[in-house]
Amino acid sequence: MKNTLKMTLAASSIAILTACGGDKEAGISPQQFTDALHLVMDSDRAVYTKKVVGRLTKEEKVIKASEHFMDDKALPLPAQMFRFGAETVAEKTDEFTYSLQSLWPINSQNAPVTAVEKEGLQFIVDNPGKNFYKEETLGGKNYFTAIYPDVAVAPVCASCHNDHKDSPKTDFKVGDVMGGVVIRVPLG
């Protein structure tokens, strides 16, 4: 009876270990993590752009979208909405950060700072359709940094930047990479 019980327990343990993946490594890579984060960010932004801003400003024409949305009682621009989300995440966690940056920022605070940011933003401009991934050390701590292209998909994207008084670049056109989403994850 005791032997039967022992064997049953041993078999159960093996079954549980097998079901849990045994001693295989669990988890996802930093790149899988940042790719998944970016997929959610890009999808949410596309939905806001299409279903909220586009519908209410162009189809139903009930409200405008404006950089000065508070004063104008208008909708925040998609890029602003994106940035507000990044700021809210930064208040909640240090597990990752994200930002929208550009080599030609309207707001100088959104210019690249680290060498990897500068290299990555140039890479996505030079290599359409490709992302940039690299590890970097900042303040003695290692990070995985991923940079995803941000593209002008509508004429208003390009014209808004081209016409803005603070824009250092005035010849954007549809299809251009205007900047990038920088996602940074601490390693170790």
130 binds other proteins (CB under 8 A): yes
168 sits near other proteins (criterion: CB under 8 A):
no
Segment interacting with other proteins (CB under 8 A) among 64-72, 79-87, 110-118, 174-182: 174-182
- Answer for which of 65, 133, 176, 179 binds other proteins (CB under 8 A) is 176
Stretch that binds other proteins, among 4-12, 62-70, 109-117, 151-159 (CB under 8 A): 151-159
Output 30 or 180, the one with its CB closest to other proteins.
180
Q: Alpha-carbon distance 75 to 5, whole Å?
A: 67
Query: Residue from 64, 68, 73, 173 that binds other proteins (CB under 8 A)?
Result: 173
Nearest Cα to 83, choosing from 170, 162, 158, 182?
182
The answer to whether 136 touches 30, Cβ cutoff 8 Å, is no
**From the CB of 33, what's the least distance to other proteins, in Å?**
16
Closer Cβ to other proteins, 68 or 173, answer by number: 173
129 binds other proteins (CB under 8 A): yes
Tokens of 115: 């060498």
Q: CA-CA distance, 131 to 126, in Å (whole number)? A: 11
Task: Strand 97-101: give its sheet, edge to edge.
Answer: 97-101, 177-186, 141-151, 132-138
Count Cβ atoms below 10 Å from residue 55 Cβ, excluding itself: 13
**Cα(15)–Cα(8) distance, rounded to whole angstroms?**
10
In angstroms, give the least distance from the CB of 166 to other proteins: 24
Contact 101, 180 (CB under 8 A): yes
> Is the CB of 14 or the CB of 154 nearer to other proteins?
154
Interface with other proteins (CB under 8 A)? 42-43, 45-47, 49-50, 54, 128-131, 148-155, 173-177
